[in-house]
């Protein structure tokens, strides 16, 4: 069980780092209140990434 927990934690951390990198490339490093992406949860990062991708897609249609 301990191995599974470690494996899961590593996967979450890798996904967080990937999203932080992608958001940085998109020019996003902190939210409106100043919270840095490095301090955000995976859930927060995923939602921000989805929102920015949607904004980008809508912008291309106009």
Range 2-15 average pLDDT: 87
Average pLDDT, the chain: 92
Residue 33, φ and ψ in degrees, nearest 5: -95, 5
Q: What is the pLDDT of residue 35?
A: 97
Confidence of residue 17 (pLDDT cuts 50, 70, 90): very high
User: How far is residue 14's CA from residue 12's CA, in Å, rounded to a whole number?
Assistant: 5
pLDDT digits (tens, 9 = 90+) for 19-45: 999 999 999 999 999 999 999 999 999
Enter the DSSP assignment of 56: H
Q: What is the pLDDT of residue 5?
A: 76
């Amino acid at each position: 069980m301990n191995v599974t927990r470690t494996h899961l934690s590593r996967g979450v951390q890798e996904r967080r780092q990937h999203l932080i990198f992608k958001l940085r490339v998109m020019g996003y490093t902190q939210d409106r209140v100043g919270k840095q992406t490095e301090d955000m949860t995976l859930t927060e990062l995923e939602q921000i990434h989805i929102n920015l991708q949607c904004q980008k897609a809508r912008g291309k249609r106009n």
